[in-house]
Chain A
Amino acid sequence: MAITKFETVEVNDLSFATSSYGETQTTKTLKFTSRPLISEVRANVATSEKFRIYSDLVQMKFNYTPNTRDIVDNDNLYSITYQNVDWRIADSSISNDRMSVTLICYFNKPSVDV
């Protein structure tokens, strides 16, 4: 069985504003700190015609709570700070027994020219 580990993460609320230029400004506000089970850490590169896009994926398993249920319902409104990086939620699921919530989070590194 693969080794998994509980690690401290910060779950942030995201709010979106618009600058005078019409550019979106995202503000992070700490919602709560938690220790999910971290697993399936992987780095990925996708090569498109012009760019290489490096992205990391990680799976986080939280207890099922009203807060984590809310994350599943509105996954665009949350980010997770893990290893000093801001991760966004790519996929979220609630276990069939409603005991846990699993989030697959991604982090994109800047695109690099091929």
Chain B
Amino acid sequence: MATQQDVREYAQAIQAQLSSIVTPIPVYANFNRNYATQPKFLTWQLRDVHQPVYTGNIQSIKGIDTPVFQISVFTQNMADGFDTANDILQSLHGYSGTFGGGGHSFNVSKADVVWLYHGYDNEIGLHNIFMDCTLYIPT
């Protein structure tokens, strides 16, 4: 039962957490053609931020938030992609505790990772692995 949580904190915590898992591989929000020369990198996008609201006229009474962020791993070499994706799975799936870092962190009850699919993009010559991570953020 709490007020709406700050999505700016979510974004900065995701950036910090992913960076600490895969360092020194660079992590970015969204894809940008400037990375085209990099042999491996990772991007993320946040979606589905939603704290259920309860009936009544008090706006601040809201439930647990379950935002999802998609992780996209891009690598020239397939083995690098699987190594990086595996690091993320091992580290994040089932994790509970402090999420984030660098002054932007909060407690998560659980992080749940789904490996969606692996593909290859001919145009940019990169393997890509897409994963969804759901955070359960208690209020």
Which A positions have Cβ atoms within 8 angstroms of B? 16, 18, 20-24, 26, 76
Contacts and interface: CB of A to CB of B under 8 A. Distances in A.
B15 A21 contact: yes
A22 B34 contact: no
B8 to A, nearest CB: 8
Interface residues of B, number: 19
Contact of A16 (B14, B15, B34): B34
A22 B12 CA distance: 8
B15 A20 contact: yes
A21 B29 contact: yes
A21 B11 contact: yes
A22 B37 contact: no
Contacts of A26: 34
A24 B12 contact: no
B28 interface: yes
Interface string B9-46: 00110111000000000111110101011000001100
Contacts of A76: 34, 36-37
